[in-house]
Amino acid sequence: MENENNKGMPLLGDDFPKMTVQTTHGVIELPKHFSGKWFVLFSHPADFTPVCTTEFHAFQTLYDKFRALNCELIGLSVDQVFAHIKWEEWIKENLDVQIEFPVIADTGAVASAMGLIHPGKGTNTVRAVFIVDEKGKIRIILYYPQELGRNMDEILRAVKAMQIADKNSVAMPANWPDNKLIGDEVIIPPATDVKTSKERLEKAKTGEFACYDWWLCHKKL
């Protein structure tokens, strides 16, 4: 793996580090390989482990829905590529699911650069998720312990919500699109000056949007 970014573990808003990686689909360059697309890079502790197997099955089951959002998937663990291939064959033979997305065969360099190795867990990677936008910016970072499998529906929801927020310059409420207060509506960014705060409540009277107060206004898309 060739890493051109030596700033340490990436943060939200950073460019995804440039790297060349060996995968089950051959050698690829990140983030260039997914240029113009969103992608989810997710690490798993190891091949041929029970929780990871359920996660791969779940990711593949939702792969078409990710692709419908112009979003790709790519896995990673500190395992050799032949182990990935044999594991994928096992999943196909025993669970009747063909893994279609690439999986990085990491030597440990990628995991170290991305902050995926827990000091108390040997060389096993944590369950991390990096959601990267079409410009190569890291938008969401999630970390899970080895004992807890991820919720892929939530990761899919996060990608969709971020895309809608970007496109419409809005914010997304808790549990969107099933928020207990405003349903599937979106939040208008709070006013940042007195004039706009007063205008918000006046506009709400016209039905353009609704407000609980000037700093909490919402609308349908």
Q: HSE (CB half, 13 Å, CA atoms) of 196? A: 9
pLDDT of 1 reads 44
Q: How many CB atoms lie within 10 A of CB 69?
A: 14
**Complete DSSP assignment for 62-88:** THHHHHHTTEEEEEEESS-HHHHHHHH
Residue 81 exposed, middle or buried by CB count within 10 Å (0-12, 13-18, 19+)? middle
One-letter identity of residue 127: R
Q: Is 71 a catalytic residue?
A: no
pTM of the model: 0.91
CB 112 within 8 A of CB 118: no
Q: Give the pLDDT confidence score for residue 8 in this predicted structure.
A: 60
Q: Among 52, 71, 211, 217, which one carries the catalytic annotation?
A: 52
Domains of the chain plus CATH, in order, are: 2-150 (3.40.30.10), 169-221 (3.30.1020.10)
Q: What is the pLDDT of residue 4?
A: 43
Residues 6+ apart with CB under 8 A from 33: none
**Cβ atoms 218, 185 nearer than 8 A:** yes
Encode the chain (221 residues) as per-residue pLDDT tens digits: 444 444 467 899 999 999 999 999 999 999 999 999 999 999 998 899 999 999 999 999 999 999 999 999 999 988 899 999 999 999 999 999 999 999 999 888 888 888 887 666 555 677 899 999 999 999 999 999 888 999 999 999 999 999 999 999 999 999 999 999 999 999 999 889 999 998 888 888 898 899 999 999 999 99
Q: Within its chain, how far is the Cα of 163 from the centroid?
A: 12
d(CA 184, CA 186): 7
